Amino acid sequence: MVGHLTSKPGSSTANKTGSWRTEAKPKFLKKNCIACKMCVLICPEGIISGEGKNTFYCDYAYCKGCGNCAAVCPKKDIEMVKE
Amino acid sequence: MVETLFKPGHTACAGCGQAIAARLVIDAAGKNTMVANGTGCLEVFSTKYPESSWGVPWIHSLFENCSAVASGVEAGLKYLGKKDSINVIAQAGDGGTADIGLQAISGMFERGHDVLYVCYDNEAYMNTGVQRSGLTPTLSNTTTSPSGSASLGNPRPKKPMPEIAAAHGIPYVATASVGYPQDIQRKVKKALSIKGPKYIQIHVPCPLGWRHESRMTFDVAKLAVETGLYPIFEYDNGKLIPRKITAIKPVEEYLKYQGRFKHLMKDPEAIKEMQAIADNNIKKYGLSATV
């Protein structure tokens, strides 16, 4: 017998959790970024990408607006702005 | 989208510390990994049937037996001659580790299975509504250890789970924190390079249960380490290697952001008690960089 089996890896991407945001969303200012990647590491959704300085962005389809990326940025280059 | 083995769309709360740690762990372990997951927040929010956030083979059975499942997976891989190329991770929350799953973990350590056990320590049963667990810290307000006129909150100290794991004589035991993400990944990679049972306990803030703002997850995790209330260290073959703190902060710095410790802020005696716990940790693990 096969019980609860989910065979498709990463299928949770069907849930667009971006609709959860109630107050603010992160804005990547792309001015003083030093590409330390702390925002990439700390994002609970794992949706921030980018390689070099001033190239980072996030996928608003999943961003829940927790604000940790803005809190962790050592250069204050991410700002939480009203929706 | 960034390449990760823990996909978005999971239903963790905004600012969930466990979601951060789970992704860091699985990405450090890589795609040749099999995961046995105990019941808890992580299992519930990452596998909302029929979907899954995981990009690796992942098994959930029960609260108490995730180590037993992982032991079986490891033994099966060994029989097939595939163990050398595949990592096995068992993971659960603090309740599934220190309370309900403890005997299966002890058995797995004692039998010497080549499994990495990861405990996501959010310091209470958050999934069922913030009941106290064996890893709930002293004087914390939970729904089963409420603070009020007759009590200051949880009367008991935190269970020394890393020491319990180390007492089994296993080759690698470590604690880590979401406040130090690179440190988590380094420890996972180091643990997986060692043969035998390994234990890593990661401090993961819970905005809902700790009642802090969701944007404070990283800062709260870091403050727990900087005050000495959550010591970060490794037992490498029994040898203690602490992560030193350059500027130790008073415990109020950590407690003041959290609703679960709010009742302590008007009680200098209780703050003293918490400071004594931190001071004891600093001495016991040699956390101070200046001494």
* Average pLDDT rounded to a whole number, residues A1-26: 85
Q: Is B1 close to A47, i.e. CB distance below 8 A?
A: yes
pLDDT score of A3: 64
Instruction: Tell me which chain A residues have a C-beta less than 8 angstroms from the C-beta of B51.
Output: 6, 8, 11-12, 14-15
- Nearest CB neighbour to A71, from listed B48, B207, B219: B219
- Angle at which helices B217-226 and B17-29 cross, to 10°: 80
Round the CA-based radius of gyration of chain A to a whole number and report it. 15
CATH superfamily of B17-285: Thiamin diphosphate (ThDP)-binding fold, Pyr/PP domains (3.40.50.970)
The shortest C-alpha distance from B14 to chain A (Å) reads: 5
* Average pLDDT rounded to a whole number, residues B172-192: 97
Instruction: Tell me which chain B residues have a C-beta less than 8 angstroms from the C-beta of A51.
Output: none
Which chain B residue has the Cα nearest residue A36? Answer: B182
Q: Is A44 close to B55, i.e. CB distance below 8 A?
A: no
* Average pLDDT rounded to a whole number, residues B103-123: 97
pLDDT score of B50: 86
Which chain A residue has the Cα nearest residue B214? Answer: A66
pLDDT score of B34: 97
Interface test with A, best of B217, B219, B223 (most A CBs within 10 A): B217
CA atoms lying within 13 Å on the CB side of residue A63 = 26
pLDDT band at B282 (very low <50, low <70, confident <90, very high): very high
The CA-based angle B112-B43-A44, given to 5 degrees, is 105
> Buried (b) or exposed (e) across B233-251, using 16+ Cβ within 10 A?
bbbeeeeeebbebeebbeb
A32 touches B at CB < 8 Å: no
ipTM above 0.90, yes or no: yes
* Average pLDDT rounded to a whole number, residues B213-237: 97
Instruction: Tell me which chain B residues have a C-beta less than 8 angstroms from the C-beta of A2.
Output: none
A24 touches B at CB < 8 Å: no
Residue A35, pLDDT above cutoff 70 = yes
Interface test with A, best of B35, B58, B218 (most A CBs within 10 A): B218
Round the CA-based radius of gyration of chain B to a whole number and report it. 18
B54-110: per-residue pLDDT in tens? Answer: 999 999 989 999 999 999 999 999 999 999 999 999 999 999 999 999 999 999 999
Which chain A residue has the Cα nearest residue B213? Answer: A66
Domain boundaries along the sequence of chain A = 35-83
Provide the 3-class DSSP secondary structure of residue B60.
strand
Q: Is B16 close to A15, i.e. CB distance below 8 A?
A: no
The CATH code of the domain at A35-83 is 3.30.70.20
A57 touches B at CB < 8 Å: no
- Nearest CB neighbour to A44, from listed B1, B15, B55: B15
Residue B48, pLDDT above cutoff 70 = yes
A11 touches B at CB < 8 Å: yes
Domain boundaries along the sequence of chain B = 17-285
Residue B158, pLDDT above cutoff 90 = yes
Burial class (CB within 10 angstroms; exposed 0-12, middle 13-18, buried 19+) of B262: middle
d(CA B137, CA B242): 20
Residue A24, pLDDT above cutoff 60 = yes
Q: Is B8 close to A12, i.e. CB distance below 8 A?
A: yes
Instruction: Tell me which chain A residues have a C-beta less than 8 angstroms from the C-beta of B10.
Output: 12, 15, 17, 45
- Nearest CB neighbour to A62, from listed B8, B23, B178: B8
pLDDT score of B1: 55
Q: Is A38 close to B56, i.e. CB distance below 8 A?
A: no
**The two three-digit tokens of residue A74, written as one number:** 């050592």
- Nearest CB neighbour to A13, from listed B9, B24, B219: B9
Q: Is B214 close to A59, i.e. CB distance below 8 A?
A: no
